[in-house]
Amino acid sequence: MRHVSPAMSDATTPAPAATAPVSMDNLVALAKRRGFIFQSSEIYGGFNGFFDYGPLGAELKKNIRDCWWADMVQRRDDVVGIETSIIMHPKVWEASGHVAGFSDPLVDCKVSKQRYRADQLFFSPVVVTAADGVAQTVGYVSALESENTAGELQTAAESFKRKKAIQGTLCPVVAKDLTEAREDEIALIPSPATGEPGSLTAPRAFNMMFQTNVGAMTDGSSVAYLRPETAQGMFVDFKNVVDTGRVKLPFGIAQIGKSFRNEITPRNFIFRSREFEQMEMEYFIHEDADWSKVHEEWIAWCEAWLKSIGLPDSHLSRYAHPKEKLAFYSRGTVDIMFKYPFGVQELWGIAARGSYDLTQHANASGKPQEVFDEATKKKFVPHVIEPAVGVDRIFLAVLCAGYAEEAVTDEKGNTETRTVLRLSPRIAPVKVAVLPLLKNKEVLVARAQALYKKLQRRYAVFYDETAAIGRRYRRQDEIGTPWCVTIDFDTIEKPGDTFTLRDRDTMQQRRVTEAELFALLEEQVY
């Protein structure tokens, strides 16, 4: 009988550090191929801005939610969790300001019928300076999402100069977005769809809330909205939680749930979609509390939490919203940004919202939203710090940070590319794959099945007896399984009942007992 050692079948080169930059195309292909994410209603051609999560995706998403809930709610004494309805009384959205103001600036291209968000459509005047020092605008260029590169500006300048038969050197100007364009400029800015000027409209406000009708009537009186954020549920239930719970300021109310926004330009896969999931927490503090200290503490908490689920420091940064761009009630907002393959973008917003929301609801409902201060014997409306993050954006971030294609060499010197998803064991959809070395050896299969069943009581595990062991390892690498255990002949024949434990990232193998395997999982999966 020839015993095949699993160690011989796997690549022997440790995972190299340098890998090619992640391409969104490869990531989207992997997500589809391995059942993480599908287009919604794909058999009908898909539905723009909506996605389905497949078997592995649903598992990964649930793990992200569960980790957040455990750390934010269950492991803290000062935060409680709730779950509120998606459709709320329409007056909620009037009081919160969403009916009047939850809009994005929309721009139409009259020729192509394409729509753009004006704050995501950038333009620059192309200015050339002649030898006598006189500067003149020779044309305009535009770009979606981020401003034109220096090379694009130079090419445009050369083209405008040729057409207009003028000399001069390109003069640097600051790019703006279309919300800042003058009317005469809008007429000269080329549409990204046609490349020609003259077809873009001036920006106008487009409310992003989805409307529906509740009840049998479909007139104005039955209009309701799908919530565009979960936060209002926490404000509207504030008094209920205070009156029934064990809470005392400062404390937080957290919720995870679906939100809906009729985004003008859903894009970048699941980064911006029309139906998405949020994890939000409203942290209520005394009106005289040092809000900036609490704000900073929550920003640091959110950063640490992202790292705890495997996002690397190198991909995270902070963006403080400039004071002049904040809503009038807002004291300060800091976004934690993530370096996605399509640019550095908002992942988690942490806003200091003062007492705005509770005050609005108190005024609109006629029900005071105050708490009593034992020290001063006075009532007051608490202030709030709000960390708000999207589950789908975290999902995309962990895929982007974890995805790698790397060259590995086997013991025969053959080099191949392995695709690996370096997901933290906390969130990996499958924690361990159990692999009997050979499927036609009953002793191996029986021992593997026994281990599989035992692991399955506590963890998401996968049993695979098909294909060569090396191929089985690769399949698990691609879906981010941190460990594979192989039941081989040493398990059966040698004392100690040990298995080969193979690590996804290092590809190193060592022998462990069942107790050691459970101890490892207990430590790493929390």
Instruction: Using CB under 6 A, list all residues that contact ligand ATP.
Output: 229, 261, 263, 272-273, 276, 278, 346-349, 388-390, 392-393
* Rounded Cα distance, 458 and 513, in Å: 17
Contact by Cβ (8 Å): 394, 310: no
Pairing, β 275-285 against β 51-53: unpaired
Helix H or strand E segment including 77: none
CB of 271 to ligand ATP, least distance (A): 6
Amino acid identity of 493? E
Beta-carbon contacts of 158 under 8 Å, excluding residues fewer than 6 positions away, are none
Residue placing its CB nearer to ligand ATP in the complex, 263 or 406 = 263
Burial of 298 (0-12, 13-18, 19+ CB in 10 A): buried
CB of 327 to ligand ATP, least distance (A): 11
Residue placing its CB nearer to ligand ATP in the complex, 63 or 120 = 120
Residue placing its CB nearer to ligand ATP in the complex, 55 or 343 = 343
Residue placing its CB nearer to ligand ATP in the complex, 52 or 442 = 52
Place of tokens 């500067």: 135
CB of 390 to ligand ATP, least distance (A): 3
CB of 175 to ligand ATP, least distance (A): 18
* Rounded Cα distance, 189 and 198, in Å: 7
Residue placing its CB nearer to ligand ATP in the complex, 5 or 262 = 262
- Can you tell me whether residue 193 is helix, strand or coil? coil
Residue placing its CB nearer to ligand ATP in the complex, 347 or 484 = 347
> Cα separations (Å) of 306 from 79, 300, 316, 320, 390?
18, 10, 9, 18, 12
**Token representation of residue 147:** 């401003």
**257: closest CA among 303, 236, 226?**
226
CB of 413 to ligand ATP, least distance (A): 46
Beta-carbon contacts of 328 under 8 Å, excluding residues fewer than 6 positions away, are none
Measured from each CB, the residue nearest to ligand ATP is 390
Residue placing its CB nearer to ligand ATP in the complex, 274 or 502 = 274
Residue placing its CB nearer to ligand ATP in the complex, 98 or 383 = 98
- Helix axis angle, 442-456 to 514-524, nearest 10°: 30
CB of 260 to ligand ATP, least distance (A): 9
CB of 337 to ligand ATP, least distance (A): 10
* Rounded Cα distance, 235 and 79, in Å: 14
**Token representation of residue 352:** 């200091």
CB of 278 to ligand ATP, least distance (A): 5
